[in-house]
A = this chain, B = another copy of it.
Amino acid sequence: MPPTLRRPTAAPRVELHAVPGLPRIGAGDDLVRLTLAGIDAAGIGLRGGDVLVFAQKVVSKTEGRRVDLATVTPSPRAIEVAARVRKDARVVELILSESTRIVREAPDVLIVEHRLGFVMANAGIDQSNVAADGDCALLLPLDPDASAARLRAQVRQAAGVDVAVLINDSFGRPWRCGAVGVALGCAGLAALRDLRGRPDLFGRTLRVTEVAQADEIASAASMLMGQADEGLPVVVVRGLPARGDPAPARVLVRPAQQDLFR
C-alpha cells in the first residue's frame, strides 16, 4: 500500500513583512520610532516573539558611522595596498583601520578579518547608497550586538512588546558564489542553536549539531530587503518555531583554530 498522510497537524508557518514607507535614514534618526510608525501604518502590528531584522546600513547611519573621505589621510601602507587592489587609498585606510589582518588581496578584491572577527570583503565598508554628495563611506556599527540589544530595549520601551532584534548584512563566502544575508548583531534569541545531545527519530546522533539560526533568519529577511532599494531596510519575522537561550551574534564567529572548512 502506498503511504498516505498522517493525521494533519497544524501547518507551522513563518511570515516575513518588509516595513514600507521608511524615509532615507540619517545620523541621529530615531530608527525605532520610524520603524514602529511604519509597522503601524502598514497594518503589520507588532507582537511578542516577533523578530525585527534591521539592515546594517540603516543602523550604521543612525549611529553616525558615515565618514567623509575628505577627512581621511591614508597611511603609506594603505597607499601601497590600494595601488595593488585598485581602490581609493582613503577607503583602504578605513578598511585597514577596521581590520586585524588582510586575509586575501587581488585586483578589486580586499578580504580582511574585521576587528569583530568577521571575514569579509572591504571590512563591510560601503560606498554605495551612502550619500548623494559622493565621497563618503559607511562603516559597520561599533558593536552590532550592543546595537541590537539597544534597539530591542527601545522597542520594548516604546511599544511594550518583547521582540528579538537582528542586524544583518550580505557576505560573500568561500566555496559558493553569491552573497547571502548573515547576522552581525543579535539580541533576544539564540544566534546559534545547539542540537547536540538531541537524538534523532532512531536514537542516533544528529549529523548537524549546531544551527546558525540567526544567519538563517538574516538570509530570510535579506530575500525581502533587496540590494538596490534603500526603502526596505527593516523586516518583521513572525512565527519562528524555536528560539533557544539568547546569545549574541559574536558566538557565530568561528575561532580560526577550530576552522576545518577552509
Binding site for B on A (CB under 8 A): 2-26, 29-30, 34, 37-38, 41-44, 103-104, 106, 109, 111, 118-119, 121-122, 126-132, 134, 170, 172-182, 191-193, 195, 198-202, 204-208, 210-213, 215-217, 219-220, 222-224, 226-232, 240-242, 251-254, 259-262
* Interface of A: prevailing SS: loop
Q: Which residue of B lies closest to A21 (CB)?
A: B8
| A12 touches which of B20, B132, B175, B207 (Cβ 8 Å) | B20
**Which residues from B are CB-within-8-Å of A181?**
216
For this complex, 18 residue pairs linking A to B, each with C-beta atoms less than 8 Å apart, are: A3-B25, A3-B29, A5-B37, A5-B41, A8-B41, A16-B220, A111-B260, A127-B204, A131-B202, A170-B211, A176-B254, A179-B208, A180-B212, A180-B215, A180-B219, A198-B227, A206-B228, A211-B227
Question: How many whole Å from A193's CB to the nearest CB in chain B?
Answer: 8
- B252 and A177 contacting across the interface, CB-CB below 8 Å: yes
A132–B204 Cα distance when bound, in Å, is 9
**Given the interface contacts A11-B18, A21-B7, A21-B9, does A240 sit within 8 Å of B223 by beta carbon?**
yes
CA distance in complex: A259, B104 (Å): 10
Known A104-B260, A202-B132, A211-B179; judge A20-B9 contact (CB<8 A): yes
A195 touches B21 (CB 8 A): no
What residues of B have a CB within 8 angstroms of the CB of A204 in the complex?
127-129
A253–B85 Cα distance when bound, in Å, is: 25
Q: Which residues of B contact A223 (CB under 8 A)?
A: 14, 213, 216-217, 220, 240-241
